[in-house]
Structure 1
Amino acid sequence: MRESDLYSIGKVEELCNLSKKALRYYDKMGILSPDKVSDESGYRYYSKKTLLSVPMIKYYKQSGFKLEEMKAFLEGTSYSVFEKSFRNKIDELKAEESEIGLKLKSIKDWYDLIMEAQTVIENEINEVSIKYIDSCRMIYLDQDFKYDYMDSIINIEFTNYIESKSNAITGPVIIKFPSFKDKMNGKCNKMKIMQETILKCKECETIEYGGCMVASCYHIGSHETINETYKKISNWADKNKYTYEESSYERYVTDYWTTKNADKFVTEVMVKIGKYKK
């Protein structure tokens, strides 16, 4: 082959958009070797035919194959080797896709809560309103309640329980209290912690949340003053002649997970309302 029909490594760098360092490494790995190496200068030269492997290498790289895996493909191996390698790569990428999807949902849901809290604080949204909560199922755990909010929300026992089910959680922690009047009077000793899972749960491990109308009010600030919001909801319901259930939900939009400044905590308090009083 005439040297005039060959491309120097500098020209190959320009034509194929590959650095000299990458070309030398590909040569070392045995997947793209020069057609000629000058005895005098040590310069590498490549033929056009050899360079046609570059688009293939880039495609395999784009598809997630390692250089070692590409070597067999470039050597013109059998279809069975391609079939096995591609099938394994598909399984590997599906697993990665699932893991990335889990991470993306976790981060996006947390971001949405931060934006919700920021909107509530900036606009001082703390009046009672009626809203419908869509029905969904959440994983849950019944626990004792000792008025230690930090321990209840950043919940080691609940975290261990989720892990024991090989699952992952997302979105806000929600706690259901059997009687908000007992809670206001310091007599509440039971709670039900719940949260959305990313992976599907068994029916027996979940509880229905929502599917009803509630009186909702955001509480801005420390959890120690949340009774003020309960009183606001109770007074509003009485004034507007609505019945309401004893149980209540606290949906922790932002809390110890997000900030150490309790003044910036945002909690949505919800009480299920009933028929209009005559």
Structure 2
Amino acid sequence: MKEYELYCIGSVEKMCNLSKKALRYYDKRGILCPDEVSDKSGYRYYSKKTLLSVPMIKYYKQSGFKLEEMKDLLSETSYSTFQKSFKNKIEELKEIENELNLKLKSIEDWYDLITEADMVIENNVQDVSVKYLDACKMVYLNQDFNYDYIESIVNIEFTNYIEHINNAITGPVIIEYPSFEEKINGKCNKMTIMQRTILKNKDFEEIEFGGFMVAACYHIGSYETINNTYKKIKDWANNNGYKCSEKSYERYVIDYWTTKDSNKFVTEVMIKISKRKK
């Protein structure tokens, strides 16, 4: 084909796999303008040389460039300008990638908790078991405790603190109680709320969690009956030659964050244990 041969918009649509609507829009925005426009019919005609911009436009679009950015790149001949534009786009896309990864991590972890709770309820998993907790670091906040679970778990002060340190949290809320005996006797007035962070920065203190064995038991249902699960763990430890430590941990798998039906709450109660000396 001769370079000066002109193609009507219908031919360009087929040749370049671009809709007439897109071609008209690109013309309006000054991205891909026809070589000629008929005075009588208003039909647009494009040369093959002009159409060679189409692959570039598609690649720029794939790479995340906006139309105005494409316009500048298509008319630019300076190597340094291209280098600067591409460097800026890389930085912009990396920021978007980080935001998407944060959102994906948050949703994936929440979905895992819902799946875990579903399996616990479906199989009525409420037996005491021994498990090792992998050591990890968590962001934390020491607070007063008054047995108002919803305020402790859906925690405004803790949320404000996470925002203050410019971070984001994921996974289940875990609360450490200094004495499980005091807790079940209604005398506990202190707690430490903990959660994993997503972003890596050192503008805050972390607490070491795990790295030890626990007796764990899922509690299904309202927190009003959670003392029954504590008693179950305590009895199990006594009957199996284990000694319970003073602290306890409640890992909220499904709670107020996910459902208002307390019958579907799933909480993993954990108490650090050691084997009694004979």
TM-score band by shorter chain is over 0.9
1:1-278 alignment, distance < 5 Å: 5-202=5-202, 205-278=205-278
Q: Do the aligned residues in 1 keep the contact of 2:13 with 2:19 (CA within 8 Å)? A: yes
- Once the two structures are TM-superposed, the CA of residue 177 in structure 1 deviates from its matched residue by 0.4
Instruction: Label 1:30 to 1:125 Cα distance change in 2 as closer, same or farther (>3 A).
Output: same
- Equivalent AA in structure 2 for residue 18 of structure 1: L
Which residue identity lines up with residue 190 of structure 1 in the other structure?
K
Task: Classify the secondary structure of the residue corresponding to 2:65.
Answer: coil
Instruction: Answer whether contact 1:125 1:218 (CA < 8 A) is retained.
Output: yes
| Contact preservation (8 Å) 1:140, 1:206 | yes
Q: Give the total of aligned pairs.
A: 278
Note closer, same or farther for the CA distance 1:56–1:158 as it changes in structure 2 (3 Å cut).
Answer: same
Cα distance in 2, alignment partners of residues 167 and 182 from structure 1: 33
Deviating more after overlay: 74-83 vs 259-268 = 74-83
Q: Is the 8 A contact 2:165 2:203 kept in 1?
A: no
In structure 1, distance between residues paired with 2:211 and 2:232: 23
CA distance in 1, matches of 2:206, 2:6: 68
2:246 counterpart SS class = coil
Please, what is the CA RMSD of the aligned residues?
A: 1.6
Q: 1:75 is matched by which residue type in structure 2?
A: S
Q: Partners in 2 of 1:174 and 1:6 — Cα distance?
A: 69
Task: Flag structure 2 segments of 5+ consecutive residues without an equivalent.
Answer: none
- Contact 1:218–1:266 (CA<8 Å) still a contact in 2? yes
CA positional deviation for 1:201: 4.4
Is the CA contact 2:134–2:212 (under 8 Å) kept in the aligned structure 1? yes
Are residues 13 and 204 of structure 1, via their aligned partners in 2, closer, same or farther at CA, if it must alter by over 3 Å?
A: closer
1:57-106 Cα shifts (integer Å, max 9, x gaps) = 00001111111111122124201111111111111111111111111101
Distance 1:203 1:218, change over 3 A: farther
Write out the 4+ residue segments of structure 1 that deviate beyond 3 Å after TM superposition.
1-4
Helix, strand or coil at the partner of 2:275: strand
Q: Deviations over 1:170-208 (max 9, x none)?
A: 100000001101100001111010000111243861100
Does the CA-based 8 Å contact 2:218-2:268 persist in structure 1?
yes
Amino acid at match of 1:47: S
- Name the stretch that deviates more: 1-10 or 155-164: 1-10
Gaps of 5+ in 1: none
CA distance in 2, matches of 1:82, 1:203: 37
Q: What residue identity is the alignment partner of 2:44?
A: R
Contact kept? 2:3, 2:47, Cα under 8 Å? no
TM-score normalised to structure 2 length? 0.96
Provide the C-alpha distance between the structure 2 equivalents of 1:68 and 1:181, rounded to a whole number of angstroms: 66
